[in-house]
Every structure is written in C-alpha cells, then in structure tokens.
C-alpha cells in the first residue's frame, strides 16, 4: 500500500527529515551514522526515521546488530505527479531533489 500524499508531505515538512533524506542520497547508512551529525538523541532520530519509513520515503532493515536506512527512490513519484497537475512544476527527479535539499539546508547569509 502506498502512503497517501498527506503522509509524504508531512514527512517532508521537517528540515531534519529533509536533511536525513539528503544524507541517504549518497548511500545507505546505519541509524547511528544518520544520527551522528544531529544535536539530538538517538531516540529523537529514530522517531524521524519512523516517520520517513511510514511515508515510504526510506526503508529500514536489520543487518547483523545494526539497523540500516535506505532511500526509496520511487517514493516521491505520486507527489511529483500531483505537483505536475498544476502545470507549473517539472517532474521531480533525484538530482533536482538533491539540489533542492542542498539549497534548503544551506545556512542563510547573515
């Protein structure tokens, strides 16, 4: 079952979750590695990961004693199709999404 658009957009609404998605564009990561750059507890990161998983944006699997996270590249397809219906947005591809995330996460100039 595909998550509904509300779930996907709610997951994307948080800057921490967008940063996590950007990190996962590079490669699969262990949960502990995902948590490392953030100034929050592992439990808080786990909650963010659960939201991204429920939205279908990532998947998680146990490998040995570690839980790994993987970006699900087709997860934004329905959101992209929905945005295209307005005629003013191009299809979202992962390269464009990565550029968008980099721009969103860039510190504001003073």
The DSSP code sequence of 86-104 is TSSSPPP-HHHHHHHHHHH
The total domain count for the chain is 1
Strands across the sheet containing 66-71? 29-30, 66-71, 58-63
List the CATH number of the domain containing 64: 1.10.10.10
Residue 47 domain flag: yes
Q: Is the CB of residue 101 less than 8 Å from the CB of residue 18?
A: yes
Report if residue 110 sits inside a domain. Answer: no
Domain that holds residue 54: 5-103
- Give, for all 110 residues of the chain, the pLDDT tens digit: 567 889 999 999 999 999 999 999 989 999 999 999 999 999 999 999 999 999 999 999 998 999 999 999 788 888 888 777 776 555 556 777 777 777 877 766 65
Instruction: Establish if 108 belongs to a structural domain.
Output: no
Nearest to 42 by CA among 30, 58, 60, 56: 30
**Cα separations (Å) of 81 from 4, 49, 109?**
13, 24, 33
Domain assignment present for residue 25? The answer is yes
In the prediction, which pLDDT does 39 show?
Answer: 94
| Residue 48, in any domain of the structure | yes
Distance linking the first and last C-alpha atoms of the chain: 45
């Amino acid at each position: 079952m595909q998550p509904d658009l509300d779930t996907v957009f709610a997951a994307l609404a948080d800057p921490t979750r967008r940063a996590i998605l950007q990190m996962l564009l590079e490669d699969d990561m262990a949960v502990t590695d995902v948590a490392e750059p953030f100034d929050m507890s592992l439990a808080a990161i786990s909650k963010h990961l659960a939201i991204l998983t429920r939205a279908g944006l990532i998947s998680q699997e146990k490998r040995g004693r570690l839980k790994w996270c993987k970006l699900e590249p087709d997860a934004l397809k329905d959101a992209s199709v929905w945005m295209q219906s307005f005629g003013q947005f191009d299809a979202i591809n992962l390269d464009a999404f990565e550029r968008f995330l980099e721009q969103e996460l860039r510190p504001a100039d003073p």
